[in-house]
Structure 1
Amino acid sequence: MSTLTRRDRGAEMARRFPMMDGVFEEWLRSLPMRRPFGLGWDWPGEDLIRVDEFRDGDTEVIRAEMPGIDPAKDVELTVADGVLRIKAERRVDEKSEDKGYTRHEMRYGSMTRTLPLPEGVQEKDISASYKDGILEVRVPIPAQPERSEPTKIAIKT
């Protein structure tokens, strides 16, 4: 005989709202448009870290494009409530201010990216490395328990 358990999905959904809010904000920032009334975002996606996500066997791999950043000083990588947050800051070299640029398009400042992680990920198992301007985060995905087929129960009449 099996027992039925009732899960409170309200608490789980309430936990996901801030995560979805962040994902929606990042999506809006990546659109090729300006915000109305001069409220920032002058360049599309200027503070958005671009990433590639893919699976390599039983590992989720996230590669973030971050050239010209010192990962030891300028990158903060955190995991909380099933969400990976990458925060980086690209700093301007003090000597470059006196050079009299004709064009100055290189961006400096803060960048962030928030990415949801698969269910059941253990924060202690996540690893990260930085090479040639690419931050690579490897997230081992736990094995999902096998789901059994429903059993048909005979009804006596």
Structure 2
Amino acid sequence: MSLLPAHRRGSLLSEFTDLWNAFPPGMVPVFGTHLLRVEDTVDDGHYVVRAEIPGIDPAKDVEVSVHNGQLTIRAERSERHEEKGRSEFSYGSFVRTVTLPTGAQDQGVEANYAKGILTVSVPMKEPKEQVKKIEVKPGE
């Protein structure tokens, strides 16, 4: 599970994902899952996360949840056992958790899947900048 924010372009995250997913099945260290590749934007009052998950049935193989300011996407792609050649496709469990930005709402979240891309849209409200003044008491 990754708790790294998705909006770090140019970071080592994509290189880490490639390295992680290069392990042969059954040899993936510690967790046994693959990281999902994601991109995120804030667009028209919504935080939008897109995840690359080709070859799955969205009704059966994907779970999207929001809990405590975290958006989690889980997917499972089952391997087809065909002996006609080699495969570099990734199979098994895929998971990604991203921290939602300030103002993200857990009500009204929508998820759509088309052409191998899962798009999750989280409504956002304008954060209220509240300044709380603290009384300073004289010491003795």
Tell me if TM exceeds 0.5: yes
Letter of the 1:73 counterpart: K
| In 2, Cα distance between equivalents of 1:107 and 1:146 | 44
Structure 1: any 5+ residue segments left out of the alignment?
Answer: 1-20, 151-157
Which one of 53, 56, 68 corresponds to residue 69 of structure 1?
A: 56
Stretches of 4+ aligned residues off by more than 4 angstroms = none
* CA apart distance, 1:119: 2.6
Between the two proteins, the alignment pairs up a number of residues equal to 117
The residue aligned with 1:109 is 92
* CA apart distance, 1:100: 2.5
* CA apart distance, 1:31: 6.5
* CA apart distance, 1:88: 0.3
Corresponding position: 1:80 with 2:67: yes
**Identity across matched positions, percent:** 39
| In 2, Cα distance between equivalents of 1:82 and 1:58 | 17
Corresponding position: 1:139 with 2:122: yes
- 1:29–1:48 contact (8 Å) kept in structure 2: no
Change (3 A) 1:102 1:53: same
TM-score (norm 2): 0.69
Letter of the 2:49 counterpart: I
CA RMSD of aligned residues (A): 3.1
* CA apart distance, 1:54: 0.8
Change (3 A) 1:114 1:33: closer
Change (3 A) 1:78 1:33: closer
The residue aligned with 1:50 is 37
Corresponding position: 1:23 with 2:3: yes
Higher strand share: 2
Higher helix share: 1
Structure with higher RCO (Cα < 8 A, 6+ apart): 2
Structure 2: any 5+ residue segments left out of the alignment?
Answer: 5-12, 134-140
Letter of the 1:91 counterpart: S
* SS of residue in 1 equivalent to 2:48: strand
- 2:47–2:104 contact (8 Å) kept in structure 1: no
Q: For residues 94-132 of structure 1, what are the alpha-carbon distances to aligned partners after superposition, in whole Å with 9 as ceiling and x for unaligned?
A: xxx3x4333222221000000000234221221111111
